[in-house]
């Protein structure tokens, strides 16, 4: 029976309006602290530019990334002697335009970051919530499981997992997500342990909230700040790990224009054609720096302790 | 302290059992089977395959294989490499000094540069020097080290020709291994120029492997120093009129180093993971390259043993760091 009197309805509207304005105020406060960090704003601009390039690459890249120009093997960048203006950053050993491959590769890297963070965040949050909320044997079991994953160097574990699942970008993403998720589990659990005895959680429980509601609607929204910061760091780690796997021949497979795979293909030319090695690595470095800068800004904006200082 | 140590060990035992289980299970999930791998392209008859599987113990029930494996660990038997036909533990012990030497040089480099850089950045907070150090640390922290290694090879080995591209020492020198550490062995050998050759081979891989730990240590030191420099006891020390050097060196640094020690300990996993990439780029004959090659070749027992030994090292170092942390910070010990 949900009879709502007009007075109660008006109260609900007021509460909803107040909640909306509080959300806007929080966002404004967040942007105020985030924008005070100039590095973070620069990082965000670079990241937005990368996303734009990745999305528009099919239309704005000068060449097809897989097209092999048989008359243009290892052409240097246009400013070097022997360079051609049609290949601004030069071509690789089979005559493919490096700039076009880098533009298309941006989509791979950002896609890897999104998928890996989504998987590890979702699995990590659910596992961490269960661990922190349930406590006892369940908590001990989950935490020991995380300790086991963390006992292996991340890249080694990812390599073995890819060897089991088979080399390829999808399997590499699954492996990296598995390797990264203990950090989310630990963070969520720690936040849940800190929050679960707070008055608002006890009040929600006394008001009859079920376990599911308590975990996901009452506690989780109050644990999100450290998780958002960790998600940003994991995004850059995912890009680096996927590139490392690609470089070792266990990630994206040729002819994919993934940046790590491009580096792997370029290895034998490092002493004769510097551009085939330099630009893909530079693309990885700039992307990861931009994301880490955003991560630093998010930490500054979301950490109340830093806000006070 | 004893209770603290026992508590930490108690946590370690189930984790170690879990690690053995993971290492054991993973290699059985690898595609193909060992008999076909041993046979190679020649192929193998079903009878011979059954015989090989029996010899390797793969015909037994899963739990019995696991039990045999655990018993083997206690007897120091981690199986035999398919490719070299040598015991896995012997191979590991032969190659480990190369990785240990590289990792030690890298961590020494990271600590010797990272801590002073972090202190300097904290003391000069907000200055151009602080921004330059933290900017460089951010670049180091974000660096794809496999690319960094290639760039250094292009510059120092290709253009300047100062350092060799690969290996641990020039082929001109030959001397028996005493410690397995090339720097020490080359000195002990007395051969002229051997030590210099070992240093020239070690320098680029060390820089590459040290890059990320150095950046992490510098960032952590700065952040810990900033926290400590705002504490009341530092203010009191300054108010007493102590020289800035002694305030920073004696009062602030000693307390700021506590979290830095933990960070340094945590870098062991990073170093061992990074060793796979560094050793592959520089053809460094250590356990990183050995494991990567074994994973590529599906050398089952090497992967199984290598995973276990590396996880064991990481766990042991974490335990030592925990104990050290407990020793220098009584609040942790008593919790």
Instruction: Please compute the mean of the pLDDT values over residues B229-258 and round it to a whole number.
Output: 85
Residue A48 has pLDDT above 50, yes or no: yes
| Interface check B315 vs A, CB under 8 A | yes
Mutation site, B25, B144, B317, interface A, largest A CB count within 10 A? B144
Q: What is the pLDDT of residues B90-149, one digit of tens each?
A: 999 999 999 999 999 999 999 999 999 999 999 999 899 999 999 999 999 999 999 999
B15 with A247: Cβ contact below 8 A: no
B-chain residues within 8 Å CB-CB of A144? Answer: 11, 14-15, 18
Instruction: Please compute the mean of the pLDDT values over residues A79-92 and round it to a whole number.
Output: 93
Instruction: Please compute the mean of the pLDDT values over residues A231-252 and round it to a whole number.
Output: 94
CA distance A112 to A261: 14
Cβ contact A287:A239 at 8 Å: yes
B150 with A267: Cβ contact below 8 A: yes
Three-class SS of B207-255: HHHHHHHHHHHHHHHHHHHHHHHCCHHHHHHHHCCCCHHHHHHHHHHHH
Closest CA to B108 of B217, B7, B25, B185: B217
Q: For chain A, count helices (H), then strands (E).
A: 12, 0
Distance from CA of B149 to the nearest CA of A (A): 11
Model pLDDT, residue A117? 96
B-chain residues within 8 Å CB-CB of A274? Answer: 154
Q: Which residue has the tokens 């390829």?
A: A168
Residue A309 has pLDDT above 70, yes or no: no
Instruction: Please compute the mean of the pLDDT values over residues B59-70 and round it to a whole number.
Output: 91
Residue B333 has pLDDT above 70, yes or no: no
B42, two tokens: 């020649």
CA distance A32 to A37: 9
A153 with B303: Cβ contact below 8 A: no
CA B157 → CA B109, B144, B204, distances in Å?
Answer: 21, 19, 9
Nearest to A164 among B18, B30, B146 (CB): B30
Nearest to B142 among A236, A248, A263 (CB): A236
Task: Decide: helix, strand or coil at residue B86.
Answer: coil
Model pLDDT, residue B168? 92
CA distance A157 to A142: 18
* DSSP letter for each residue of B253-321: HHHHHHHHHHHHHHHHHHHHHHHHHHHHHTT--SHHHHHHHHHHHT-HHHHHHHHHHHHHHHHHHHHHH
Q: Which residue of B has its CA nearest to A263?
A: B147
Closest CA to B270 of A236, A153, A238: A153
B40, two tokens: 């190679």
Instruction: Please compute the mean of the pLDDT values over residues B312-325 and round it to a whole number.
Output: 86
Cβ contact B81:B299 at 8 Å: yes
Q: Which residue of B has its CA nearest to A156?
A: B273
Conformational region of residue B333, where left means phi above 0, alpha means psi within -120 to 50, and beta covers everything else: alpha
> Mean pLDDT over all residues of chain A?
90
Residue B22 has pLDDT above 90, yes or no: yes
Residue A23 has pLDDT above 60, yes or no: yes
| Interface check B167 vs A, CB under 8 A | no
Distance from CA of A241 to the nearest CA of B (A): 9
Residue B271 vs residue B254, higher pLDDT: B271
Model pLDDT, residue B45? 81
CB neighbours of B284 closer than 8 A, spacing ≥ 6? Answer: B98, B99, B102, B166, B167, B168, B205, B275, B278
Cβ contact B277:B145 at 8 Å: yes
Q: Which range, of A64-68, A102-106, A243-247, B265-269, averages the lowest pLDDT? A: B265-269
Residue A56 has pLDDT above 60, yes or no: yes
Q: What is the pLDDT of residues B179-231, one digit of tens each?
A: 999 999 999 988 888 999 999 999 999 999 999 999 999 999 999 999 888 88
Instruction: Please compute the mean of the pLDDT values over residues A86-112 and round it to a whole number.
Output: 95
Model pLDDT, residue B250? 79
Instruction: Please compute the mean of the pLDDT values over residues A20-39 and round it to a whole number.
Output: 86
Instruction: Please compute the mean of the pLDDT values over residues A55-60 and round it to a whole number.
Output: 95
CA distance B138 to A39: 11
Cβ contact A284:B144 at 8 Å: yes
Residue A292 has pLDDT above 50, yes or no: yes
Distance from CA of B141 to the nearest CA of A (A): 8
Model pLDDT, residue A2? 45
Distance from CA of B265 to the nearest CA of A (A): 13
Q: Which residue of A has its CA nearest to B31?
A: A164
Residue B316 has pLDDT above 80, yes or no: yes
Model pLDDT, residue B148? 96
Please, what sign has the CA dihedral across residues B177, B183, B188, B189?
positive
ipTM for the predicted complex: 0.90
Distance from CA of B250 to the nearest CA of A (A): 25
Instruction: Please compute the mean of the pLDDT values over residues A181-206 and round it to a whole number.
Output: 90
Q: Which residue has the tokens 């089977």?
A: B33
Nearest to A151 among B158, B292, B314 (CB): B314
Nearest to A152 among B30, B143, B311 (CB): B311
């Amino acid at each position: 029976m949900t009879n709502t009197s007009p007075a109660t309805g008006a109260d609900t509207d007021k509460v909803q309006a107040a909640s909306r304005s509080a959300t806007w105020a929080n966002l404004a406060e967040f942007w105020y602290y985030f924008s005070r960090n100039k590095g973070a704003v620069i990082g965000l601009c670079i990241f937005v530019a990368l996303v734009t390039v990745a999305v528009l690459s099919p239309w704005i890249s000068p060449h097809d990334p897989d097209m092999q120009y048989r008359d243009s093997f290892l052409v240097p960048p246009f400013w070097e002697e022997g360079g051609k203006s049609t290949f601004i950053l030069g071509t690789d050993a089979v005559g493919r335009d490096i700039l076009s491959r880098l533009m298309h590769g941006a989509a791979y890297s950002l896609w890897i970051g999104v998928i890996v963070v989504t998987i590890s965040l979702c699995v990590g949050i659910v596992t961490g919530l269960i661990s922190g909320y349930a406590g006892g044997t369940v908590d001990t079991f989950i935490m020991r499981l995380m300790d086991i994953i963390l006992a292996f160097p991340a890249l080694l574990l990812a390599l073995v997992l890819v060897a089991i699942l088979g080399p390829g970008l999808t399997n590499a993403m699954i492996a990296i997500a598995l390797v990264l998720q203990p950090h989310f589990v630990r963070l969520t659990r720690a936040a849940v342990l800190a929050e679960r005895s707070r008055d608002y959680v006890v009040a929600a429980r006394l008001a009859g909230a079920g376990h599911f509601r308590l975990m996901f609607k009452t506690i989780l929204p109050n644990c999100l700040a450290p998780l958002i910061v960790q998600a940003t760091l994991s995004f850059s780690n995912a890009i680096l790990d996927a590139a490392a796997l690609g470089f070792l021949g266990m990630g994206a497979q040729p002819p994919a224009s993934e940046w790590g795979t491009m580096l792997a293909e370029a290895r034998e030319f490092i002493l004769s054609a510097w551009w085939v090695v330099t630009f893909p690595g530079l693309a990885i470095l700039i992307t990861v720096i931009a994301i880490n800068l955003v991560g630093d800004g998010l930490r500054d904006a979301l950490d109340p302790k830093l806000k006070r200082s | 302290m004893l209770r603290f140590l026992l508590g930490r060990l108690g946590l370690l035992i189930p984790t170690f059992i879990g690690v053995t289980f993971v290492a054991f299970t993973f290699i059985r999930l690898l595609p193909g089977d060992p008999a076909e791998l041993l046979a190679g392209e020649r192929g193998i008859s079903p009878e011979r395959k059954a015989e090989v599987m029996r010899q390797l113990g793969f015909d037994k029930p899963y739990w019995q294989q696991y039990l045999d494996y655990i018993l083997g660990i206690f007897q120091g038997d981690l199986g035999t490499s398919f490719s070299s036909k040598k015991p896995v533990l012997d191979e590991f012990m032969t190659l480990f000094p190369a990785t240990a030497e590289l990792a030690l040089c890298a961590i020494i480099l990271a600590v010797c540069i990272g801590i002073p850089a972090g202190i300097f950045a904290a003391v000069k907070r907000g200055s151009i020097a602080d921004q330059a150090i933290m900017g460089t640390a951010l670049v180091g922290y974000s660096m794809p080290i496999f690319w960094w290694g290639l760039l250094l090879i292009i510059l120092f080995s290709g253009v300047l020709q100062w350092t060799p591209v690969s290996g641990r020492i020039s082929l001109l020198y030959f001397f028996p291994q005493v410690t397995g550490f090339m720097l020490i062995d080359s000195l002990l050998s007395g051969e002229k120029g051997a030590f210099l050759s070992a240093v020239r081979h070690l320098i680029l891989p060390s820089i590459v492997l040290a890059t990320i730990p150095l950046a992490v240590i510098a960032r952590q030191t700065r952040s810990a120093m900033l926290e400590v420099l705002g504490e009341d006891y530092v203010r009191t020390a300054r108010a007493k009129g102590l020289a800035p050097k002694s305030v920073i060196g004696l009062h602030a640094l000693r307390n700021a180093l506590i979290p830095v020690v933990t960070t340094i300990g945590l870098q062991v996993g990073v170093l061992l993971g990074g060793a796979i990439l560094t050793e592959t780029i520089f053809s460094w004959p250590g356990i990183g390259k050995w494991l990567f090659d074994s994973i590529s070749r599906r050398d089952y027992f090497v992967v199984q043993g290598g995973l276990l030994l590396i996880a064991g090292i990481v766990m042991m170092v974490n335990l030592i760091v925990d104990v050290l942390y407990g020793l220098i910070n009584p609040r942790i010990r008593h919790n």
